[in-house]
Structure 1
Amino acid sequence: MSGSAILVLEDGRTFTGTAYGAVGETFGEAVFNTGMTGYQETLTDPSYHRQVVVQTAPHIGNTGVNDDDVESRRIWVAGYVVRDPARRPSNWRSQRSLDDDLAAQGVVGISGVDTRALTRHLRERGAMRCGVSTTTTDPEALLRKVLDSPPMTGADLSAQVTTPEAYRVDAIGDTRFSVAALDFGIKAMTPHRMAERGITSHVLPSTSSADDVVATGADAVFLANGPGDPAAADDAVATVRELLRREVPVFGICFGNQILGRALGFGTYKLGYGHRGINQPVQDRRTGKVEITAHNHGFAVDAPLDRAVDTDFGAVEVSHVCLNDDVVEGLVARDVRAFSVQYHPEAAAGPHDAAYLFDRFVELLEGDSE
């Protein structure tokens, strides 16, 4: 960690700090994550592709980095912003420092930033484009590049993060069911959670057709999380509509919830600053239980909270709602076997309040759901 760095938001607000990670320049959508732990899982979550992540927790890198907690094949964030990076990692599982990992993977970061002030600014003004540079000290020059960078609205990004080839994650023990997972940006913990429940996952590229899904012989389809604007994912929506017509059971999370929502006929919209962290309160409207959940989304489904809606596939209603702002956090179809949530039930590094949703998926496959 050496040298100076600057961060410039698209409205001109500028922050100065110290270079952290790779040397260079990067651009993306500035968003904040409120998690107190799990920075390695955050960095390797493909849903953060083309986003510059601001960590609200002040101390980052304390436990270093290991090869076991990664959620995908690489770090996906476009840039990284922290206040106080660890001078040296201290954990028995640590294999290297976070700074070294960021540098090795070419991720430009900045430390020493007043992340509290930056987060308040994004919360008031909304997520916006930004640039981070360790090679220029001229905010005006960097701002011009920021304004030339693409916005997140309208971005179709899942093809950039998906697996290039299909692969399989076997069930732990006996296989009870098999699932075809459309990889819009899947995290490694998701097929693991299913494997724990006797489900073998066939992970398919995001561009796979309904015929590709059916050809796996799977009992159901899983719609994974991923980056970008769901309004731009017309091909994925068409695939899911065809799967629903073929009466294939569907379970989706995060981006997958938005894709299912669109396939059922709902719209989507961009949130002001999104939900990103591991402390979001969500109510399961079926049970009344409140869960503390892990989130990473900047878009949401536009569906009414007060009634079921008649769709091309029968009645659909909102199953979960965020208690902070009444954002739709889940959908359930009453006449076809399909449901989804906007958050992350696999939740590494936690919390695990929502792990029951994988059990609910098993119930759906068993035909015992309502």
Structure 2
Amino acid sequence: MTMLAKRMAVVKPSPSMAVSQAAKALVAQGIDVADLGLGEPDFDTPAHIIEAAHQAALSGDTRYTATGGAPATKAAVAEKFQRENGLTFAADEIVVANGAKQIIFNALMATLEAGDEVILAAPYFVSYPDMALMLGGTPVVVECSRADGFKLTPATLSAAITPKSKWLILNMPGNPSGAVYSRDELKALGKVLAAHPDLLILSDEIYEHILFDGLDFVSFGNACPDLRNRTLIVNGVAKAYAMTGWRIGYGAGPAELIKGMTTVQSQSTTNACSIAQAATVAALTGPQEEVAQFRAAFERRRDLVVQLVNAIDGLELDRPDGAFYAYIDCAGIIGKTTTDGLTLTNDADVTQFLLDQARVAAVPGSAYGLSPFFRLSTATSDEVLRAAISRIRNAVATLR
């Protein structure tokens, strides 16, 4: 007898969390491991945000809020969308949840019927396919090649759409690739989507502020306003404001969809933490200088990692346009043999080799739907990155 529902047989734990836990287990044994598995800024949350949370707690803001978000939080989200994205949303078109991940889960929970298809552009965020599977949907993976900048094209999108297609999920800048869509590229996708009026669009824009080389961010909602009535924009404060542990994400979209998502939340987690919501108001409406400082540091680290990785024979890394990851092509070492006589047959073998021999924790490209690659998080110090990539270089040099 099994206690678990049948659907759990097709759902796996988060690969990035699993890698990080494996690294922590080695550290607990006294082994020095560079954990580059999790995407988490190493900066402290800005002081004015912490102070806002402190004052909220002192003033008694410690009770339930409205399920979909306190009025002040929704107002701050609406102001952010207007100020930064040129988008106008009413309070009933906004929902606040326990992280952007819960926003996505609630959206799929509220809309998916058994067999509905969810189109995913690979490489994708690891949780997208498993969320769809857990809720009865069918992930439809579209491989977006390195030659195409890891981006969906109108042709590949059109080929993936069927009468069962319910959602298209986009992520920009992309995790793990750092890919960024231009306004023209989004408009071209929008033309394809316009011919399929029952297909919903989820644009995950959580890395919006981590953009490099002077690029300007373009929200899908701004590029394709004619698709507003079926577009959900997902964002949050975790990445831009170094607030991963505060667990606040938000979504904006059609009132009918937002109402359904809020109902799902009312029967699961109720409201997001009231104190974290107060901190979110301070983050979105307060000083933004530290966001720019964080972005500059991530760009410097990006440049460092690109330089160091491309100096390793057998590994290749294109310059990511955003986010804080390195999605490294390891085709050049597939088929090589370790000093222990093990042949690297895929990118999962490569990441196990790196953990065993280099003591560097990385996530295989298979977790993101596109191989042979592996992902390193660059959201850590220059010193840690230099040391980790030096270890990788030394380990790769031992392959034959």
TM-score, normalising length from structure 2? 0.25
Of Structure 1 and Structure 2, which has the larger fraction of its residues in helix? Answer: 2
Higher strand share: 1
TM-score when normalising by structure 1: 0.27
